[in-house]
Chains A and B, each alone.
Chain A
């Protein structure tokens, strides 16, 4: 029973030293591991639906694809969010608001650019006066998910990629 609990969950995925003795045990791990694991496994995302990609985002959050199993819950306030999933066409008028919301999020914060419009302007790249040609002109992006709109599977894949990225972070490299 105890052997099984060792192999399960967080302990299995962390670099740990574990020593048992009667009535308890000692567990030692790295600070990076102890910080990154909970960060990667409870990414609360800011609701940020700008256009049709938001429908896929909602679908991913709903029961069939179920974001909750990655510990991802939507937040309506940037103060409580770790992740910004920008889903939809970013217009030039919206761009300063996106920047402001990003600035209001507490560190560490991550950004997923979902869909062609957010990445580059998408179908509105040509002949458009109103659409911003890529969100990376405004805020830094961690993961790009192409598609028009991307299917929920793609979004989940992007989130898993972001989790992998977070788990590889080093405290010493942060500035």
Chain B
């Protein structure tokens, strides 16, 4: 299905909650309000004509003034892609977990939660995943993070 058609379906189904964002030609991208992310994802997966049955990638971003969670979706039956971007506030970033919809999100969300400190609500297994078990230095992928023996690359002159 082409990007225009996907856009039409989504904007009709969720008016004013979804905003189009041009990223690249082969994958349409949308900004989604964080309150309806679960609803949107369920629709994307269960709708017959969209049927996004693969969560191929999940990304956390620190934008400086806030965070962002990005979902990259793919449909095996329709052979089309989709990118969802969910902006989150700088303090107390929280978002609903999509693990009940795509099981692949489980470890991705644990990783993002551990490295960025974004809280995934109703996650079935909210433990850490990559950092050492006794880690107590905060969230290392945040831009303003400073660790005990962390050395920042000096500016080039």
A interface residues, Cβ below 8 angstroms from B: 92-93, 96, 125-130, 133
Smallest CB separation, A123 vs chain B (Å): 11
* Complex alpha-carbon distance, A133 and B150, angstroms: 10
Q: Is B153 in contact with A126, judged by CB distance below 8 angstroms?
A: yes
* Chain A residues whose CB sits within 8 angstroms of the CB of B145 once the complex forms: 129
* Chain B residues whose CB sits within 8 angstroms of the CB of A126 once the complex forms: 151-154
Q: Is A129 in contact with B147, judged by CB distance below 8 angstroms?
A: yes
For the complex, count residues of B whose C-beta is within 8 A of A.
14
Instruction: Give the interface SS of chain A, mostly helix, strand, loop or mixed.
Output: loop
* Chain B residues whose CB sits within 8 angstroms of the CB of A133 once the complex forms: 149, 151
The answer to whether residues A93 and B153 also contact, given A129-B140, A129-B145, A130-B140 and a CB cut-off of 8 A, is: no
Smallest CB separation, A62 vs chain B (Å): 33
Q: Is A129 in contact with B151, judged by CB distance below 8 angstroms?
A: no
Contacts of B97-148 to chain A: CB distance below 8 A: 130-132, 137, 140-141, 145, 147
* Chain B residues whose CB sits within 8 angstroms of the CB of A93 once the complex forms: 130-132
Top 10 closest pairs, chain A to chain B, by CB? A129-B140, A126-B153, A93-B132, A127-B153, A126-B151, A129-B147, A92-B132, A133-B149, A129-B150, A127-B152
